[in-house]
Structure 1
């Protein structure tokens, strides 16, 4: 059965395909990439103010979920109740900005530390986050306590996750150029998947969808990301309450440090019936001891 994708999620390009000495002209499908400006509406009723918070390059689609997930994982909101709504801004200056500018309306009583936000987003965009200071900040402001009594994940399910994720990646199948983030049950049931040119955006879309559906905290869910596991992805997963995170690629050293501190089970190189366990492997069941027939490598 053919999957039809939103027309804004991809574009066509004429390319020259080269195979040996043979050159042919063909049409290629590209993942769309456009800027999304996220604005905030805040302040008491009758005295509302609007300001731009961030601009991110993303694949159009699920923009409200992306916005909600971004606000949650950046510590600006803590629950669905902090939002009165998200809309595309109607008062844009240029046609190309239509559906590329969204405004999240916060509840009138929500307190914002605007100087902190300015410092934080300047730091994040210019030079990234730094080590222990950032981990401590997540603990102090927005990271819920992850469960210490499960959930438990059978290693046979771990091996099945990448194929199940890939089978649901409709846009990747068309373009070959997107990251994906997917939520599974501990039994391996695919519950939610989003794709984007940015791996952080893909995860924000998943978390935003869960937030708007009032699923949080995600204490009984497993996350699989299609690329590597960075500190930012681990931090976002922790804010959403996800206790098990698996990545098709490698984790960074800071990602492992963060997952260890958060109490999160972190798996890397989950592909081709293999994976590495980096921390909190006690949530895995039916795993053979090191050196056994199903040695984890």
Structure 2
């Protein structure tokens, strides 16, 4: 059976000379094939665990589904190895009647690596997706002090990172309060609620796992939320946020230029270098409350 982490023997060396042997815990990384209605759709490298969340979130990001009822069934039944044992590396998805399957231009003809969420897309046009939701219309207000606290709150939920030091994380936070009825200050009585944390060797996989969890809980669109990620903000992460209706994406590192352009176009507030004491606002800073 697949595992989120594995033990390996290593030899540790120091500048002082010599070395010692010991066991080390490594993050798991294995292929996952996604099949739609019996047809191969893509293969992605991922950290095993929360696979159904990963698949559901990936299908949201690809514009295939938008509601939990769009998926009739997900299971591992197709993944059987030569020895007859289930591999847990193939997920079969049965779409609901009336849900249009993706056209052939969306199929991934090579595997998607753990570092690239759009690799293998068959055409340039298929890279950019149109969201069924509208992040630009979300009136949420984000107190800066609360936003700056999110990286530390995300870090407390990174259990796999604690043991391996080798995975990314994404956390979904819901901001309470009623922006329309607070006199425009955006202040509220409670702190943001942590809804979900997911980890993976691929930062895009961690986000897909969060979005997939939300889809299966019937929470899309994710209004009044911030998606906090542990790495940089790329084009694909902004797109995944937009496809799920997330109005704000915050990263501890830098965004790319294309990520900023897409955030401006889709109405997503994009924050970078958010590290506890300050952050940079790259797009739609009007939601921030100093």
State TM-score, norm by structure 1. Answer: 0.84
Once residues 213 and 207 of structure 1 are traced to their aligned partners in structure 2, the CA distance between those partners, rounded to angstroms, is 10
1:162 partnered with 2:151: yes
Once residues 162 and 280 of structure 2 are traced to their aligned partners in structure 1, the CA distance between those partners, rounded to angstroms, is 27
Q: Alpha-carbon deviation of 1:258?
A: 0.3
The count of aligned residue pairs is 268
1:104 partnered with 2:90: no
1:212-271 deviations in whole A, cap 9, x for unaligned? Answer: 000010011111011111111100100000001100111011100000001111000111
1:243 partnered with 2:231: no
Q: Tell me if structure 1 keeps the 8 A contact 2:224–2:247.
A: yes
- The secondary structure found in structure 1 opposite 2:65 is coil
Structure 1 vs Structure 2 CA RMSD? 2.4
What are the equivalent positions in structure 2 for 1:6-25 lying under 5 Å apart? 8-20=3-15, 21-25=17-21
In structure 1, the partner of 2:36 is 40
1:216 partnered with 2:204: no
Q: Alpha-carbon deviation of 1:109?
A: 2.6
Alignment gaps of 5+ in structure 1: 1-5, 42-49, 288-297
In structure 2, the partner of 1:153 is 142
State TM-score, norm by structure 2. Answer: 0.86
1:115–1:276 Cα change, 3 Å: same
Q: Alpha-carbon deviation of 1:110?
A: 2.2
Q: Alpha-carbon deviation of 1:185?
A: 1.7
1:89-129 deviations in whole A, cap 9, x for unaligned? Answer: 24624357611111011113322243232378799434798
In structure 2, the partner of 1:118 is 107
Higher helix residue share: 1
Q: Alpha-carbon deviation of 1:7?
A: 7.9
Q: Tell me if structure 2 keeps the 8 A contact 1:8–1:60.
A: yes
Alignment gaps of 5+ in structure 2: 113-117, 176-190
Once residues 111 and 170 of structure 1 are traced to their aligned partners in structure 2, the CA distance between those partners, rounded to angstroms, is 38
1:32–1:121 Cα change, 3 Å: closer
1:17-37 deviations in whole A, cap 9, x for unaligned? Answer: 112213111110000001001
Once residues 253 and 48 of structure 2 are traced to their aligned partners in structure 1, the CA distance between those partners, rounded to angstroms, is 25
Task: Using CA pairs under 8 Å that are at least 6 residues apart, name the structure with larger relative contact order, 1 or 2.
Answer: 2
Once residues 155 and 191 of structure 1 are traced to their aligned partners in structure 2, the CA distance between those partners, rounded to angstroms, is 19
Once residues 8 and 101 of structure 2 are traced to their aligned partners in structure 1, the CA distance between those partners, rounded to angstroms, is 44
- The secondary structure found in structure 2 opposite 1:270 is coil
1:194 partnered with 2:198: yes
> Comparing 247-256 with 83-92, which one deviates more in the overlay?
83-92
